[in-house]
Amino acid sequence: MLKRRTFMAAAAACMLMSPIAHAEYKAEYTVSTVLPSAFPWGQAADKWVELVKERSEGRINMKIYSSAQLVSGDQTKEFSAMRSGLIDMSVGSTINWSPQVPELNLFSLPFLMPDHASIDAITQGEAGKAVFAAIEKRGVTPLAWGENGFRQLSNSKLKVDEPSDLQGLKIRVVGSPLFQDTFTALGANPTQMSWADAKPALTTGAVDGQENPLSVFDVARIDQVGQTHLTRWGYMADPLVFAVSTRVWRQFSPEDQQLLQQAAIDAGKWEIEKSRAELEATLAKIKERGVEVTDLTPEQHAAFVEATRSVYEKWTPRIGEELVKQAQDAVANRK
């Protein structure tokens, strides 16, 4: 009898240490995104799910729910739903999560990042680590960076190449007060609405314009709803974050945590390289559809920078003086 008990105890111990012990994992984990597979954002999530399934040999299965459908289309509620465990995982936008994580407003500061090297210098440096720490402190475990891209401005009324051109224009913006302040400083009339509501509003003329990466303008065919003027001003970039609800994260073994994170890192690198490589072809397609594309001169760019300085004065204390300085130093010293 004693031998039998000893054998059973040893067997139980082996089970605890083996991959089979994690059979209590959910049959399927939810992954929230705003944009579906036609967009680089959705493709980032697709690649993550694919790599995890392949590397776990089917032990960890994830299902993507795009269009923020797990939060009834309100993308600004995604982070809170993850924190509470209602959503397991996400490839989310720094913009959409900024209401719950003020530090994420860093990336929305106008004209902070002039090029892709600037984004990389921030996300891969001390500022990026500080941002990840801020996310983790609030109940979500960040794993890797992706990229939605530099956001460009379009409208149905006129060519925009100086701040005064925006006077009175109704511009759809995402649900972040910082965006309201940026466009108000430029003389526009910012109107907050979810992505689900944006295209109908552009169609009816309820708003005159919007701002999004070129990939979104292209795939969503924003040109078909009267957006015939596009200004490439690159006023801010929108990194994506691969993340897991910390409640869910703690359920995985250390080995599977490593698997999930490495898959996210690899998926993020793949998506960033792919989306950047496609930019010129995307711009060419947009021009072929008859959209007037305006590139700012250095002098015109400087005028927009000057017009939005008040945003820094208001938002730097909210984001954190040290974090903003880390980011500015990273940009200044980028390679």
pLDDT in tens, 11-27: 444 444 444 344 489 99
Query: Nearest 5°: CA angle at 142, between 136 and 131?
Result: 65
Residue with tokens 């995890």: 52
pLDDT the model gives residue 20: 39
Whether the per-residue pLDDT at 73 is higher than 80: the answer is yes
Q: Is the pLDDT confidence value at 305 over 60?
A: yes
pLDDT grade for 58, boundaries at 50, 70 and 90: very high
Q: At what angle do helices 116-123 and 126-137 cross, to 10 degrees?
A: 60
State residue 135's pLDDT score. 98
pLDDT tens-digit map of 183-230:
999 999 999 998 889 999 999 999 999 999 999 999 999 999 999 999
| Confidence at residue 175, expressed as pLDDT on a 0 to 100 scale | 75
Half-sphere exposure of 307 (CA within 13 A, CB side): 21
For 157-191, the pLDDT digits (tens) are: 999 999 999 999 999 998 789 999 999 999 999 99
- Mean pLDDT, range 38-66, rounded to an integer: 97
Percent composition of the chain: helix, strand, coil (DSSP 3-state, to 5): 55, 20, 25
pLDDT at 195: 82
At 47, phi and psi to the nearest 5? -65, -40
Quick one: tokens of 93? 């936008």
Question: CA angle, 61 as apex, 57 and 67 as ends, to 5°?
Answer: 145
CB-side neighbour CA atoms (13 Å) of 247: 11
Rounded CA separation 242/261 (Å): 9
Burial string for 6-22 (b: 16+ CB within 10 Å, else e) reads: eeeeeeeeeeeeeeeeb
pLDDT at 66 over 50: yes
pLDDT at 144 over 70: yes
Q: In the numeric block, which tokens belong to residue 174?
A: 């995402």
